[in-house]
Chain A
Amino acid sequence: MPTPTEHGRPDPETTTLARSRDGRPVSDRGDTVCVIGAGASGLTALKNLAEHGFGVDCYERETGIGGAWNWRHDRSPVYASTHLISSRPFTQFPDFPMPDDWPDYPHHSQLLSYFERYADHFDLRRHIWFGTEVVRVEPVADDRWDVTTRSTGGYGPERTSRYAAVMIANGHNWSPKLPRYDGLAEYRGEVMHASSYKDPAQLRGKRVLVVGAGNTGCDIAVEAAQQASRCWHSTRRGYWYAPKYVFGRPADQVNDTLLALRVPLRVRQWLYHRTLRLTVGDLTRFGLPKPDHRVYETHPIANSQLVYYVGHGAITPVSDVTRFHAHSVELADGRQIDPELVVFATGYLPRFEFLDAKILGDDEEVGRPRLWLNAFVPNHPTLAVAGLVQPDSAIFPLAHWQAVLFARLLRLRTTRPERAAAFAARVSTGAGERYSGQVKDSTRHWFEVGHVDYLRALERALRDLEGK
């Protein structure tokens, strides 16, 4: 057995055969597949493509793996207390279990160590060019791709390599989405996006307004309840705040028991409402708005502590923000509050700045590609996106199966081209399909998926592809 001990960088032979459109030399990487990003989705893409026999090159702008989950990275959105909101069985890669003595909801540092072990176990680092960012990805003849890279930060020369296929795994939780408000420029207090929130010390002793009721917004509101002198939590509408444990088990495990039994959505919604009513009770008594939708119709919020602190008066729920003044904030109900610090937990936007937006079907350039299974690109059979899903559970197993499907598709392009062609036709007809029940405000949550709906669709695609 050859010894896989060297841990150097990959070393593409520079067989300069071709030139790019503007005449620069291109090193041809043959059948190698390019993976963009070495976060969770990129790592599983690397592992599964290599397992299917492909050569792989991965470009990572940071100097370590883990992407968003590596707190050392500039673009990492994690804060000191970040914990998973899905329990272990839903979070781990299907073929690499997390240690079973870890807690049900591991901490972000444990998740990073899990990805580090995954990378070492499958010897993935040797495929990764660290400190290298992708500048451009351009289609060339025969469904191949020219990928232009340079050192992160723009130092050094650009170099272009030609690949048989590209899997994009650049993540979607790094480009902050900031809402626009009248008067925000004149506001004299401190304003930050949740992406720069790292530690509860940033809130200590201050009057804090947290805007947004995503999982991050709720976490920050809870920390503000413990650290700040005052905490307002502004939400656009009422939400269902699901506890992390029900009936003595992690809530998502109880939910999947119902899914395994194929209990219809309406019945699950009824059971869920009933359970919340019996445990948390009616939230409108705290001044929280009544949800205007049924449960499962928005991205789930798993937070047992928010309601607890609202009940202790440590969090004051308030309505939407309408405008800012120099020393106060005006709310939709006309009230004025006077926070010193405003934290916008208003989410992130996916961005693919290295790629012509039209390639992904995002004709209006609003960051909303038109894909099948949120991964496959019409008319570009050798391009796929990993991890561009917002499931009601963890992304990692979904990204794993996206990579497996892409790897098998690429393999069948040579062995059974007719099957690959049928798949391509399916991609074109199915682009834009949704994989969840009815979703409130679905233009904003366009990549929201139900994990079981999505995985069932992917399983079908895998079986159709292989004719089984």
Chain B
Amino acid sequence: MSNPRDVVITGIGLVSSLGEGPDAHWQKLAQPGLQPVLETARFAPYTVHPLPEIDWNLQIAKRGDQRQMETWQRLGTYAAGLALDDAGIKGNDELCTTMDMVVAAGGGERDEAVDAAILAASESRNDRDVLLNEKLTTELRPTLFLAQLSNLLAGNISIVHKVTGSSRTFMGEEGAGVSAVETAAARIRSGQSTHVLVGGAFQTEHSDMLLGYELAGYLHRGPWKPVWQRQGAEGGGVVSGSGGAFLVLEQRDHAMSRGRKIYAELGPVVSGRARRSRGELDAEIAGLLSQAALPNGRLLAMSGASGAHAATTAEKTALDAVETIAARGFSTLTGHMKEAQFPFAVALAALAVDRKAAYPVFDAAAEKPFEGIPASVLATAIGYHQFEGMALVKSA
């Protein structure tokens, strides 16, 4: 039964190697046997799913604003703009100034050339701290700091799109995306917010973004494989991708009163922190599945599995144990997008509900077909290293 304070999804902004916007993603992902877009040379031995060509002007009108950002912030600001446009909020002062925002963010890009020069010089200098001062004071571009600060993605969204009701930035890899969606939904359900912009972006085409995984050996090396088939292959199993996902979440009444199209209802959003070193992950995933109030019958699941061996095995085992679940590991086609992973999963789930059709298998060897109309779709993000979350997306 619908409630006026239900959380509904009225805007979706997506960017990935597959293209931009919900329609483009649906069209691509609905094609059986779609091949991923891969960049295998630039970061060899690592493969990444690169950004598509983007005309930033379409969502970030001022060149001056574009110049103040690096790709990560531009990407997030762009994806946020797509979601606002899609929800009919962009350019509406009244709706933008009262809109709350929760962004899931990591950090922005460092200057690779400056860093490489400092590292090269460090080979012949023992006074490395002095070297650092010398180089950083003279070679850093002053405004680069602003392009690196986690909270400045949200800051740029306020500046470019005028979303100013409130602005919070959550950090912490996939878990940040989970908490962002969970908090936004809780605000709406409790009547604190009527409409919230929530999402994140990840720009993986930068050595530091790869290093963030590889300091623990998480990246897959060698020939590309689908996300479920990387166990035993060289490396740690993660293939990352650049992308962004923003959602406009809205109180049902608020959306209806302005006559907006509703993609889907966002049902329960659940999260957890397994102490993985104590072997709690399997039980945590099972617990989240039971809290997510899964409906009877067949269920499509948009899994954000990263490919990281331990976490992906645990998730696959748990999903396979529920016979009625047909999972789709979308990282096979988009790569792992860290903070944006969970919002992306929720967006893909909402699209399937809206289009009344399931995605075909992304990996015929590991995924089961799903026939019929998916009235509910599960979205998951089991962190490659820590933190877990799920949401159930339902027909509106």
Same complex origin of A and B: no
